[in-house]
Structure 1
Amino acid sequence: MAKGVNSAAEQAEQLKQDGNHYFKKNRFAAAIDAYTEAITLCPNVPVYWTNRALCHRKRNEWGRVEEDSLRAVRLDPKSVKGHYMLGLALLQKEIYAEGIRALERALDLGRGAHPNSYMVEEIWQELASAKCKEWVHDSAKRTLDLQKLEKACEIALEEKFVHDLSRKMDTDGVGYSTSEQLAALKLIFSKAAEDDKPTDIPDYLCCKITLDIFRDPVITPSGLTYERAIILEHLEKVGKFDPITREPLHPSQLVPNLAIKEAVGAYLEKHGWAYKLD
């Protein structure tokens, strides 16, 4: 019995390798067939499902991407690719909140496993794009709602002005009071719209190397904060020293800067335009 199980597992692994070969050749239908056979033999291996989901993604078969990704994350809740593809599929269906949550989960898992891998950067790009689209949608709605409310308030003040004129002889006083109220009203609505107007991101929320807003900030013993992937790349390719202070620095000395990460999260929550990518 054990021999039969091992044989099935070996066959499934060979089919996965075949699928990978077909995928690299852009033969996605053949790759899907190979992964499907592997799944038939060993249905509890998450990578077979995520590999097939990737093929479906290439063919824009988003319903099947969602199905395979869901199966993968049920088998392995820590599957980076599973959560990533699920997020992409949900976003295609314009289910933004759930799609963004799936991408955020994939990003957290990816950072924990391979913080400077290409996939972490790819996930961030997709997440930032989704967040920005969500902000554009919500911002447009907020702007329209504010405009409608401002107009309603102006009409109400004008009606009050007419009503007061009919009851008072001091028309100059009434007109001056209404003018002041209208000016105050415009100021209030102008301030209410400020959060949706792009401005410069505060320097303390940006990496000193990339000059971009932090995604995964880490702090060094010298007290400087860098983007994790960028400082790790520097330590690996340039040398084991702090790029600014030039003091010796080892990857093990990097500590997540939770205060800055929380500040970035709060800032992005309030200023969604800051997710916009150049």
Structure 2
Amino acid sequence: MQALDHGRGAHPNSYMVEEIWQELAKAKYQEWERDSTKRSWELQNLQDSCEIALREKHVHEDAADSTSQQLADLKLVFAKAAEADIPTEVPDYLCCKITLDIFRDPVITPSGLTYERAVILDHLEKVGKFDPITRETLFPSQLVQNLAIKEAVGAFLEKHGWAYKMD
């Protein structure tokens, strides 16, 4: 991550910065995938052991009604535990309004909108010096790094490694 931040500082539009991000995202996704598979196997083994123990308890206590309810409750508990590893959608506030991709280097405009730095700089250079949503005049010097969103993205990616996957 430090190499990425250093690269951004020197050349925010550089292809190298994009390559660093892509390699970092690929490695982080592979790490999540490996860890997720391990967690899944561990949860499944624990669930199987718990179900066996409940069934053995049923045999010894002859409590069929409570055992079936406990087995149903157990399935719910393990389903809830597995939720963190199930890919969903990235919240809109963590995504660029132009690309709809998760932020890498978010910047905020004077109007309060946040964009991916490279994307908004490209827009300002190629399309015109205006905000693509508000249409207000906008210059690169007015863009400020959005540290709150950057931290929120970092926290989200830390918890949801599946979001590193790039199509």
Q: Shorter-chain TM-score: which interval?
A: over 0.9
Q: 1:134 aligns with which of 9, 16, 31?
A: 31
Q: TM-score, structure 2 length as denominator?
A: 0.97
Residue 274 (1) aligns with residue 163 (2): yes
Deviates more, 1:196-205 or 1:212-221: 196-205
Residue 247 (1) aligns with residue 136 (2): yes
Q: What SS does structure 1 have at the residue aligned with 2:25?
A: helix
- The equivalent residue for 2:92 is 203
Structure with higher RCO (Cα < 8 A, 6+ apart): 2
CA–CA distance in structure 1, aligned partners of residues 24 and 42 of structure 2:
27
CA–CA distance in structure 2, aligned partners of residues 141 and 148 of structure 1:
11
- The equivalent residue for 1:193 is 82
List 4+ stretches of structure 1 deviating above 3 A: none
- The equivalent residue for 1:259 is 148
Q: TM-score, structure 1 length as denominator?
A: 0.59
- The equivalent residue for 2:54 is 157
Q: What SS does structure 1 have at the residue aligned with 2:115?
A: strand
Alignment root-mean-square deviation, CA: 0.8
1:162-207 deviation digits (Å, cap 9, x = unpaired): 1212xxxxxxxx2111111100100010111111111111111110
- The equivalent residue for 2:108 is 219
CA–CA distance in structure 2, aligned partners of residues 264 and 189 of structure 1:
27
Structure 1 residue runs without a partner (length 5+): 1-103, 166-173
- The equivalent residue for 1:176 is 65
Aligned residues: 167
Residue 233 (1) aligns with residue 122 (2): yes
AA paired with 2:37? A
CA–CA distance in structure 1, aligned partners of residues 9 and 53 of structure 2:
56
CA–CA distance in structure 1, aligned partners of residues 80 and 70 of structure 2:
15
Displacement after TM superposition at 1:105 (Å): 1.6
CA–CA distance in structure 1, aligned partners of residues 85 and 30 of structure 2:
13
CA–CA distance in structure 2, aligned partners of residues 232 and 200 of structure 1:
26
Alignment of 1:18-167 (within 5 A): 104-165=1-62
Displacement after TM superposition at 1:276 (Å): 0.6
CA–CA distance in structure 1, aligned partners of residues 23 and 130 of structure 2:
32
CA–CA distance in structure 2, aligned partners of residues 163 and 258 of structure 1:
59
CA–CA distance in structure 2, aligned partners of residues 163 and 109 of structure 1:
65
CA–CA distance in structure 2, aligned partners of residues 200 and 106 of structure 1:
28
AA paired with 2:106? P
CA–CA distance in structure 2, aligned partners of residues 180 and 257 of structure 1:
49
Structure 2 residue runs without a partner (length 5+): none
